[in-house]
């Protein structure tokens, strides 16, 4: 048999199929074709993976690659980080797809569109008929579901619950950045979100952002957050490891549009208005996202202020607000059945400069906080299942998508990656092109008209069901 690619001599780690050994792995027609010692047969391409670890392709279940969040650099940055599949968390869907078509690096990408008053809905309390039309419009545009931006642009609690119930009924993915008009982004907001889900499937992003010590010691809040999620098997969650958050610096009528931006300015001792934001940039508290040479970087001071002003404030920004003492516990805490209390590690990266699944996630492996198999569980297996892709991705059995990330464990960096058998990253250089876009059936035209490769997600396929945790060490 002939193959498209053979990776030789790498240490393959695939907890789903019980693999933890040095072996060859071969791809053909975008799928895993064979595993075994000394695979024979011609191949169009062979790569030596000796001394490296071969993992199921990294999946980042929380990124931002729209024009609002540095999307033009996002695909390049994700590829450099070893990611093969990602879920954009909030769109706007048209911007995400346009940028994917223009700057794709071989990734598989899905997107949930945002629910925001004055943009996709008319008020902070949209009724079911308006939300139904918003979901239908998002699907036609290519989105697999919706996200409630509660921490930034809150709705009423009742409207937030309606969005979740609607997506549950329609088989759409739904995520909730916790917080409503009545409850802020904190541990109380997380508890409220769990209740508002009312047993419907829900993706709860960045759990660490609700445990920043707003109401008690951060470490205690982290434990309380993890304990809370144990009672809600309908909720899939992720946390990130970076010390920075992600915000919008856009101001309207002299006030930051994002409630989270306002809150973080006050936390730093600055006024929650345009003048206070300018002072925070100059003082080094607010970090502007500036894209240069295909990368987004954090900058403060006069040059960052000038970039913010030149963008007419419509630019991304970050604050160092995530307590370091909560990140490792949230990554480690377990359910009684041995699965993780927080299902996945994600980055909230993409166009935001914190694509650190390898850099920080593998640091936990070196600290013996996670085994390498557990790292795979949190960065590939669980996010694949969260996205309803568990049969295709997150493992390396023959017939699965040939999505592979090859890492240098000691250096904590990706060396190579493949998406559907095609090179994305080779020896630290991005070589991939194009984007496979996961879309619902009604979003097919939106993808193909842009030259994107469609992967159809049938209604309900983004509604994951829990499986027993594989033996991940």
Please name the residues in contact with 118: beta carbons below 8 A apart, sequence gap of 6 or more.
none
Residue 117: exposure state from Cβ atoms within 10 A (0-12, 13-18, ≥19): middle
In this structure, the answer to whether residues 14 and 79 fall within a common structural domain is: no
Q: What does the block give as tokens for 211? A: 């445990």
In this structure, the answer to whether residues 237 and 355 fall within a common structural domain is: yes
Residue 450: exposure state from Cβ atoms within 10 A (0-12, 13-18, ≥19): middle
The answer to whether 43 and 5 have CB atoms below 8 angstroms apart is: yes
What is the tally of structural domains in the chain?
2
In this structure, the answer to whether residues 26 and 51 fall within a common structural domain is: yes
Q: Any idea what the Cα angle at residue 100 is, between residues 97 and 104, rounded to 5°?
A: 165
The answer to whether 385 and 376 have CB atoms below 8 angstroms apart is: no
- Domain limits for position 373: 57-254+293-386
Residue 314 in domain:
yes
Distance CA 91, CA 76 (A): 18
Q: What is the pLDDT of residue 224?
A: 93
CATH code, domain carrying 31: 2.30.40.10
In this structure, the answer to whether residues 168 and 49 fall within a common structural domain is: no
Residue 28 in domain:
yes
In this structure, the answer to whether residues 37 and 182 fall within a common structural domain is: no
Residue 454 in domain:
no
Q: What is the pLDDT of residue 322?
A: 86
Residue 92 in domain:
yes
Residue 267 in domain:
no
Distance CA 419, CA 432 (A): 9
Residue 24 in domain:
yes
Q: What is the pLDDT along the chain (473 residues), one digit of tens a residue?
A: 899 999 999 999 999 999 999 999 999 999 999 999 999 989 999 999 999 999 999 999 999 999 878 888 999 999 999 999 999 999 999 999 999 999 999 999 999 999 999 999 999 999 999 999 999 999 999 999 999 999 899 999 999 999 999 999 999 999 999 999 999 999 999 999 999 999 999 999 999 999 988 788 989 999 999 999 988 989 999 999 999 988 889 999 999 999 889 989 999 999 999 999 999 999 999 999 998 888 999 999 999 999 999 999 999 899 998 888 888 899 998 888 888 999 999 999 999 899 999 999 999 999 999 999 999 999 999 999 999 898 999 999 999 999 999 999 999 999 999 999 999 999 999 999 999 999 999 999 999 999 999 999 988 877 666 555 554 44
In this structure, the answer to whether residues 120 and 250 fall within a common structural domain is: yes
Q: What is the pLDDT of residue 291?
A: 85
Q: How far apart are the first and last CA of the chain?
A: 35
In this structure, the answer to whether residues 40 and 153 fall within a common structural domain is: no
Measure CA 146 to chain center: 14
In this structure, the answer to whether residues 74 and 91 fall within a common structural domain is: yes
Q: Any idea what the Cα angle at residue 269 is, between residues 205 and 281, rounded to 5°?
A: 75
In this structure, the answer to whether residues 10 and 130 fall within a common structural domain is: no
Nearest to 321 by CA among 240, 215, 244: 244
Q: What is the pLDDT of residue 472?
A: 47
Distance CA 442, CA 451 (A): 16
Q: What's the length of the chain?
A: 473
DSSP structure class, residue 210? G
Radius of gyration of the chain (CA): 21
Question: The tokens 């209604």 sit on which residue?
Answer: 459
The answer to whether 39 and 24 have CB atoms below 8 angstroms apart is: yes
The answer to whether 387 and 396 have CB atoms below 8 angstroms apart is: no
Distance CA 407, CA 428 (A): 10
Q: Coil, helix or strand for 365? A: helix
Phi, psi of 62 (to 5 degrees): -160, 100
Residue 398 in domain:
yes
In this structure, the answer to whether residues 18 and 63 fall within a common structural domain is: no
Q: What is the pLDDT of residue 465?
A: 61
In this structure, the answer to whether residues 410 and 324 fall within a common structural domain is: no
Nearest to 267 by CA among 213, 333, 347, 191: 213
In this structure, the answer to whether residues 18 and 115 fall within a common structural domain is: no
Q: Any idea what the Cα angle at residue 290 is, between residues 287 and 295, rounded to 5°?
A: 120
**Residues 397/400/403/406 CA torsion (nearest 10 deg):** 0
Q: What is the pLDDT of residue 468?
A: 52
Question: The tokens 């945002």 sit on which residue?
Answer: 114
Residue 429 in domain:
yes
- The residues that bridge with 258 in the sheet, in sequence order, are none
Q: Any idea what the Cα angle at residue 107 is, between residues 443 and 332, rounded to 5°?
A: 105
Q: HSE, CB side, 13 Å, CA atoms: give it for residue 356.
A: 16
Q: Any idea what the Cα angle at residue 360 is, between residues 354 and 362, rounded to 5°?
A: 140
Q: Coil, helix or strand for 362? A: helix
Kindly report the number of other CB atoms within 10 A of residue 325's CB atom.
13
CATH code, domain carrying 341: 3.20.20.140
């Amino acid at each position: 048999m002939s193959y498209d690619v053979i990776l030789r001599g790498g240490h393959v780690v695939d907890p789903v199929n019980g693999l933890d050994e040095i072996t060859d792995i071969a791809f053909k027609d975008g799928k895993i074709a064979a595993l075994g010692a000394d695979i024979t047969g011609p191949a169009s391409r062979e790569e030596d993976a000796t001394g490296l670890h071969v993992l199921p392709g990294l999946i980042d279940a929380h990124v931002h690659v729209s024009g609002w969040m540095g999307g033009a650099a996002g695909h390049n940055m994700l590829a450099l980080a070893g990611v093969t599949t990602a879920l954009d968390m909030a769109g706007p869907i048209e911007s995400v797809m346009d940028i994917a078509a223009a700057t794709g690096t071989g990734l598989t990408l899905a997107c949930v569109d945002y629910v925001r008053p004055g943009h996709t809905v008319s008020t902070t309390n949209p009724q079911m008929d308006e939300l139904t039309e918003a979901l239908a419009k998002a699907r036609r545009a290519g989105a697999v579901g919706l996200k409630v931006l509660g921490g930034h642009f809150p709705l009423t609690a009742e409207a937030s619950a309606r969005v979740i119930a609607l997506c549950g009924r329609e088989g759409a993915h739904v995520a909730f950045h916790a917080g409503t008009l009545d409850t802020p982004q904190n541990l109380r907001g997380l508890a409220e979100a769990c209740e508002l889900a009312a047993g419907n499937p829900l993706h709860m992003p960045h759990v660490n952002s609700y445990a920043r010590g707003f109401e008690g010691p951060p470490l205690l809040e982290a434990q309380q957050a993890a304990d809370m999620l144990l009672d809600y098997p309908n909720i899939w969650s992720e946390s990130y490891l970076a010390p920075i958050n992600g915000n919008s610096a856009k101001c309207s009528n002299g006030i930051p549009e994002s409630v989270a931006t306002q809150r973080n300015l006050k936390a730093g001792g600055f006024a929650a208005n345009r003048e206070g934001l300018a002072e925070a940039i100059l003082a080094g508290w607010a970090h502007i996202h500036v894209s240069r040479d295909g990368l987004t970087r954090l900058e403060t001071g006069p040059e960052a202020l000038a970039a913010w002003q030149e963008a007419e404030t419509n630019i991304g920004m970050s604050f160092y607000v995530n307590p370091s003492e909560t990140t490792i516990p949230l990554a480690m805490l377990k359910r009684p059945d041995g699965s993780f209390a927080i299902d996945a590690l994600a980055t909230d990266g993409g166009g935001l400069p914190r694509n650190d699944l390898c850099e920080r996630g593998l640091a936990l492996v070196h600290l013996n906080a996670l085994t390498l198999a557990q790292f795979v569980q949190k960065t590939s297996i669980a996010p694949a299942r969260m996205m309803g892709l568990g049969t295709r991705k997150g493992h390396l059995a023959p017939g699965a998508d040939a999505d592979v990330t090859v890492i240098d464990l000691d250096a904590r960096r990706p060396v190579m990656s493949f998406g559907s058998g095609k090179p994305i990253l080779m020896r630290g250089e991005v070589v991939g092109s194009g984007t496979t876009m996961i879309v619902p059936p009604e979003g097919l035209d939106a993808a193909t008209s842009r030259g994107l490769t469609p992967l159809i997600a049938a209604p309900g396929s983004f509604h994951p069901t829990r499986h027993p945790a594989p033996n991940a060490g």
